[in-house]
Amino acid sequence: MIDTLVDKLWAQHGLEEAEYARLIEQRTDESAALLAQRADAVRRKIYGNAVFVRGLIEISNICKNDCLYCGIRRSNANCSRYRLTPESILDCADEGYALGFRTFVLQGGEDAWFTDERLCALIGELKTRHPDCAVTLSLGERSHASYAALRATGADRYLLRHETADRAHYETLHPAEMSYDNRMRCLRDLRELGYQVGCGFMVGSPRQTAAELAKDLKFIESFRPDMCGIGPFVPHRDTPFRGESAGTVELTCFLLSVIRLIHPPVLLPATTALGTIDPRGREKGILAGANVVMPNLSPVNVRKKYELYDNKICTGEESAQCKDCLNDRMRGIGYEIVTDRGDIRKPY
């Protein structure tokens, strides 16, 4: 029964919404292993054993939003706030370049200091220094005009997780002033402006159901993102969700395999959150079908402050150590980190 669904997914790159829910609800170790095996084969056909790296630079933990799950939400008075200067961001990128990174991800809270003008100057300088690199932004919801300006100065990619494709669930994770419609509007704008676009969601967010996850999968099937970031929800002690339980490695890996089969060329990270809830989480993610890792290039003195959830890993070491550690981990399971921009393979 479930094997039939796995076969159908593999052959057709999609299922009915109710079938996705059934695949999730009735999953077994065997169905997970079968999916992972198929996902691995499909990924190897497109990308071989290459794993792409992205140098993550966490530019600010100042945020105007108050997402209920997030440790840097504005009402967390215990969060010690910081903002990197453009010079320090450029230094991180220079260091990353020397280590072999060819993609830089600038991620942060929605910090009004980073106006279009300041960001455009920064992106322009990054592209001048490193014309062979991709610049990915992950700076939340902005206007169409803002996304257009950033794209025009050279930003190549944008990561904006949709967080959940179920409107009612979205509203339980966010305060009333945030909107599901605006989140989706942003993704459409980014696509229209020619960015390589990443969406994604948390696995095991409080009271999430298989039916809601099925909607996320249906959304991925129709949106066909270039990138898709999924990781387990992990509670943070200073948020309203402090008492909730974390998502699991098992379900996250299961969904990574499903997403690989839905959209074979998708760039799929084995996330830091996955590595946080299991010391071998990122290896497990790669083996389930992921093909991207995102080592931290932020200055060590701010890393602990970009704490989206409790016990986030990779906050203590230098960038070079972070890269070496991941290199070793990937080699240990037969994969190889490559020096490459790591664009999605097209046509598909």
Q: Interface with ligand SAH by CB under 6 A: which residues?
A: 69-70, 107, 109-110, 138, 140, 160-161, 163, 202, 231, 233-234, 236, 273, 308-309
Query: What Å distances lie between residue 172 and 77, 166, 241, CA to CA?
Result: 22, 10, 11
CB of 161 to ligand SAH, least distance (A): 4
Calpha distance 7→5 (Å, rounded): 5
Q: In the numeric block, which tokens belong to residue 193? A: 């402006």
Q: Give the residue from 115, 109, 54, 64 showing the smallest Cα distance to 86.
A: 115
Compute the least distance from the CB of residue 270 to ligand SAH, in Å: 14
In angstroms, the CA 68 to CA 229 distance is 19
Q: Please report the DSSP string for 56-78 in residue order.
A: EEEEE---S---TT-TT-TT-TT
Across the beta sheet with 134-138, the strand order is 55-60, 103-108, 134-138, 157-159, 196-203, 227-232
Residues 6+ apart with CB under 8 A from 93: 55, 57, 101, 104, 126, 129, 130, 133, 297
- Which one-letter amino acid corresponds to residue 104? F
CB 98 to ligand SAH: min, Å: 26
State the nearest-atom distance from the C-beta of 69 to ligand SAH, in Å. 4
124 three-state secondary structure: helix
Contact call for residues 308 and 71 (beta carbons, < 8 A): yes
Specify whether the CB–CB gap between 302 and 60 falls below 8 A.
no
Nearer to ligand SAH by Cβ, of 11 and 176: the residue is 176
Cα–Cα distance measured from residue 50 to residue 27, given in angstroms and rounded to the nearest whole number: 29
**Nearest to ligand SAH of 69, 254 (CB atom):** 69
Q: How far is the CB of 57 from ligand SAH (least distance, A)?
A: 12
Phi, psi for 53 (deg, rounded to 5): -115, 145
Smallest gap, in angstroms, from Cβ of residue 271 to ligand SAH? 8
**At closest approach, how far in Å is the CB of 208 from ligand SAH?**
12
| Amino acid (1-letter code) at residue 329 | R
For the bound state, the minimum distance from the C-beta of residue 298 to ligand SAH, rounded and expressed in Å, comes to: 13
